Amino acid sequence: MLEDETEHTPGAGPGGGGAPPQALGVGMVGYAFMGAAHSQGWRTVSHVFDLPLRPRLAAVCGRDGAAVRAAADRLGWAAAETDWRALIARDDVQLVDICTPGDSHAEIAIAALDAGKHVLCEKPLANSVEEAEAMADAARRARARGQLAMVGFNYRRVPAMALARRMVAEGRIGTVRHVRVAYLQDWLVDPEFPLTWRLEREHAGSGALGDLGAHIVDLAQFVAGEPLVGVSAMTETFVRERPLLDGASAGLSGAGGGAAKGPVTVDDAALFTGRLASGALASFEATRFASGRKNALRLELNGSDGSLAFDLERLNELSFHDHTEPAASAGFRRILVTEAEHPYLEAWWPPGHALGYEHTFVHQARDLVHAIAAGTDPAPSFADGLQVQRVLAAVEESAEKNSAYTPIPVSVPLPDPVQEA
C-alpha cells in the first residue's frame, strides 16, 4: 500500500531497564555496494533507535569463499556462506536481506519466504512483471504465516522525503496537479567503460530505467500517495557495444584486432510522462549519461495550495511554497529538516547537524524491525514493488511500440483522500 510510514516511536537510542530485546538474526546475500550499505544500516540501527528486537548480523553470502569471508570481517558479519540456500537454512537467520543483481531476486526471495523467513529485497523487486507477481504471491502466502516482506526503496527514508509525504497527506499543498522527477548520473558517458552486469538485460532487467527509474517512480507514487495509471515513453541506448571485463570472448566483435566487445542490451536513458490515479500529470527522466551529474535526484510537486521541491544533493532540505499566503510575501522557503519532530530525527543529533545517504539504510532497518515486532505490514511491500515493476514494463512497452499512452494495471489500493488528510 502507498501509505505514510513516518510515524515511529520516539527514543534517543537503546536504554532503560528490563531485559534486553530478543535478537533478530539477519542473513544477507551479496556484499558489494548495496551489501555494504545494508550492513551499515544493520550495524548501526540498534545503537541509535530503541528497538523491540536487536538485529544480529548472523551471516553473509557470496560465491567466492575467500572474498565473502573477507567481506564478513570487514562489514561485521559473524559468519560467511557460499550458497544462499545454506544461508536460508541457518537456524540463526530469521530475516534474509537480498542485495544481489535482479536476476536472482525472485528465486532467493520466494525460497526464503517459503522457508519461514522474513525478507528484505533490494529494488527493483524483479527483472520482469511475471517474477514480481510470483514474489508478491509468495509474500501474501507468507503473510498468512506471519512472515513479512519489504522492498528496499531507501530514498523513502530520507527525512526530507518522509516529511514531504507527511505534508502532502496533511493537505499542505492541496490537490496535487503536477509531479516531476529526474535522476541523473554520468558514470557511463565514457564509451570505454566496461560491460558490467548492469548493462546486460539477463542480469539487470533494464538499464537506467530499472536502476534509477525504479527509485523515482516509487518516490513519485509514495510522496503523492497514489499510483501511476499510464505512461508515454522514449528510451535510448547511446553506446551499443562496450569492452568485455575479461577482454575477450569467442564470437564477439574485436576478436581480430582490438579489445573484444559485447552488446549493451539495456537502455542508457529513459524519458516518460505519466498520469496518476487522481488525474495529476507526472514527468520522469532517468539517465546515466548526464555529464557532470553524479547522483542528482530532484523531485517537485505542484498543488492547488502550494508546492514542494527536493534535491538529493541538498539532502537535509525541503523547499515549500504556501500558495495561500499573500502574493506580496509568498515564495519558496527552505525547511532545514533536522528538527526532532521531523521524521526519524528524534534519535539523531541536535538541530542543524546534517545526516547523509547511509542514514537511509539505518532508517530502513529501523522501520522493518518495528514492523516485524508488531506483526504489521511493512512499506514498501512486495505489492508496491510489483506496482513499480508494472510501471517499468509499461514504459518499455510504450517506447518499443512508439505508443502515445500505455495503461498500467494497479496492484495497490487507491488512496482515500478523506482518511489520508
Residue by residue, DSSP assigns 124-145 as: SS-SSHHHHHHHHHHHHHHHHH
- pLDDT score of 242 more than 90: yes
Q: Domains along the chain? A: 22-155 (3.40.50.720), 157-356+381-407 (3.30.360.10)
Pairing between β-strand 317-322 and β-strand 333-336 as defined by DSSP bridges: antiparallel
Which pLDDT band, with edges at 50, 70 and 90, does 14 fall under? very low
Q: What is the pLDDT of residue 403?
A: 83
- pLDDT score of 420 more than 80: no
pLDDT, mean over the chain: 92
Q: What is the pLDDT of residue 251?
A: 41
Facing residues of 119 across strands? 96, 149
- pLDDT score of 220 more than 90: yes
- pLDDT score of 18 more than 80: no
Number of neighbours of residue 108 by Cβ within 10 angstroms: 22
Mean pLDDT check: name the lowest of 139-148, 150-159, 303-312, 403-412.
Answer: 403-412
3-state secondary structure of 104: helix
In percent, how much of the chain has pLDDT > 70? Answer: 90
- pLDDT score of 273 more than 80: yes
Which pLDDT band, with edges at 50, 70 and 90, does 320 fall under? very high
- pLDDT score of 369 more than 50: yes
DSSP code at position 116? T
Residue by residue, DSSP assigns 329-362 as: T---EEEE--STTSTTGGGSPSTT----TTHHHH
Q: What is the pLDDT of residue 383?
A: 97
In percent, how much of the chain has pLDDT > 90? Answer: 88
Question: Which triple of cell numbers denotes residue 352?
Answer: 542543524
**Numbers of helices and strands, H then E, in the chain:** 12, 17
CA–CA distance, 286 with 296 (Å, rounded to integer) = 10
Instruction: Pick the more confident residue, 416 or 307.
Output: 307
- Mean pLDDT score, 305-314: 98
Pairing between β-strand 53-61 and β-strand 79-81 as defined by DSSP bridges: parallel
DSSP code at position 114? H
CA–CA distance, 109 with 134 (Å, rounded to integer) = 10
- Mean pLDDT score, 50-79: 98
CA–CA distance, 147 with 412 (Å, rounded to integer) = 20
Alpha helices by DSSP H, 198-257: 201-204, 208, 214-224
Alpha helices by DSSP H, 104-190: 105-114, 129-145, 159-169
Which amino acid is it at 351?
P
pTM, full prediction: 0.91
Burial 226-249 (b: 16+ CB within 10 A, else e): bbbbbbbbebebebebbbbeeeee
- Based on the number of CB atoms within 10 Å of its own CB, is 339 exposed (0-12), middle (13-18) or buried (19 or more)? middle
